[in-house]
Amino acid sequence: MGVGRSGGSLADLRTANRREVLTLLRISGALSQAEISRATRLSHASVSNIVRELTSRGLARSTLGVRNGRRVCDVSLNPSAGLVGGIEFGNRHVRAAVADFTHTVRAEAQHTLSYRHQAASSVPEAAAMFRELVEGSGRDLADVQVLAVGLPGPIDRETGRTASPAILPGWAEFDVRSAIEATLGVRTIVDNDANLGALAEGLWGVGRGFTDFAYVKVATGIGAGIVLHGKLYRGVAGTAGEIGHTTIEEDGPVCRCGNRGCLEMFAAGPALLEPLRRSYGDDLTVEDLVRLSNEGDIGCRRVITDAGRHIGVALANLCNLLSPQMIIIGGELALAGDVLLNAIRESMARRAFSVPAHAEVVAGAFSERAGILGALALALQESEDDAADGAHHRPGPPIGASERQHRLAV
């Protein structure tokens, strides 16, 4: 039995041990039983029993191989055990993806949505897109164990509704979870897109190995996913991390949330584009802004630098409160690179008590894909919990070599 596994019933301990083995295989890939035993500190007999159970249930598989000239039996998760899905809504887009239990993305797609789109029309479009991805992978919706949905605003995870209608117009009081479950017949969970970005970066990206960090998404809006002691911190109402609506200037312009001087009014996409449109035209987008900045445009660089300084003020406050190990910058604006990051670093260094010693500011590994990859990560974790608790999984057909797939990990 593993170190520190005391208390609780025997059934609870067995569930915890199964979950630990499943998590290890999900993150590390194929391992021998001896390697599993060393990593989990479970006895060889316990590991053997768990592997036998997972294999008999179709969740894992054993394959013979050779390592350092010796024959070994590797254990890995079974890619045919089932699928998980992710859907991520942005202010102007929806992404969907399907993955198997080995972290392999089987299919992925993106559609453009109108700005301030309505949930009633966007959810059916996303559901149809997801169904096409599953069927295009040679499977059906019955093979999908869990579907995770990301939204750009605070979420009440108990109800699956947005916690603040002012943050996400067009989705006020819309029951996202029930709507998707009714359309697709797949168990659905809903979370904030910045939380999902933090989850993706923590599992596979630059946050891997860190226990305390913040992932800050800078795009049309600004939000943060906060990881404390290795776990996402959502707060009582699910609104933790709404850094875009912290006050930067008390008498500043009125924000859509009803307050004055919020960070989004100075550093989110619309605020950056507005002063440039007289010179660059009304069709200017954040993508254009970043591209022009990377090409050396002085005006665009100035706007992004100013935004970085404002973001640095908010992040300095976050550092003074939480003292994270790292701050990861993601979203569309992160593609501006050091033009944005250096401004953030300089602003934080002037204001945060512990920044020079403790909080490195880095660009995320996944840019705009962090949200959809985080949705898959959340769905994988949820399906893993089901598997550890003994929930039934129906194996699907073997994966063909010709199918579209790529690993989540970079």
CB atoms within 10 A of CB 282: 7
pLDDT at residue 257, as a whole number: 86
- Residue identified by tokens 């768990």 is 50
Nearest in space to 342 (alpha carbons), one of 351, 334, 352? 334
Lowest mean pLDDT among 83-87, 362-366, 402-406: 402-406
The tens digit of pLDDT for each residue in 133-167 reads 999 999 999 999 999 999 988 887 777 777 666 56
257-286 residue pLDDT tens:
889 999 999 999 999 999 999 999 999 999
* H or E element in which residue 306 lies: helix 298-322
Read off the pLDDT band of 312 (50, 70, 90): very high
Contacts of 9 (CB under 8 A, 6+ apart): none
Domains of the chain: residue spans and CATH: 10-77 (1.10.10.10), 81-196+369-392 (3.30.420.40), 206-364 (3.30.420.40)
Averaged pLDDT for residues 315-338: 95
Helix (H) or strand (E) holding 384: helix 370-389
Query: How high is the pLDDT of residue 73?
Result: 86
Q: Would you call 241 helix, strand, or coil by DSSP?
A: coil
pTM of the model: 0.84
What pLDDT does residue 118 have? 85
- C-alpha distances (whole Å) from 299 to each of 153, 284, 293, 332 are 30, 13, 8, 18
Q: What is the pLDDT of residue 372?
A: 96
Q: List the structure tokens of 9.
A: 């019933």
8 A C-beta contact, residue 103 and residue 66: no
DSSP, res 397: P
The overall average pLDDT reported for the chain is 86
Name the pLDDT band for 358 (thresholds 50, 70, 90): low
Under 8 Å between Cβ of 226 and 214:
yes
**Angle of helix 44-56 versus helix 33-40 axis, rounded to 10:** 120
Cα 40 to Cα 2, 13, 185, 398, 407, distances in angstroms: 6, 13, 36, 29, 24
Place of tokens 């908010």: 314
Where helices occur in 5-56 by DSSP H, the ranges are 10-28, 33-40, 44-56
Cβ pair 130, 141 in contact under 8 A: no
pLDDT in tens, 197-250: 999 999 889 999 999 999 999 998 999 999 999 999 998 877 899 999 999 999
Q: What is the largest CA-CA distance in the chain?
A: 71
What is the Cα–Cα distance from 186 to 119, expressed in whole angstroms? 18
Q: Is 362 exposed, middle or buried (0-12, 13-18, 19+ CB in 10 A)?
A: middle
pLDDT reading at 400 higher than 60: no
Q: Tokens standing for 66?
A: 């050779």
Residues in the chain: 410
> Does residue 115 register a pLDDT over 80?
no
Per-residue confidence band for 1, with pLDDT thresholds at 50, 70 and 90: very low
252: which 2 tokens?
């500043």
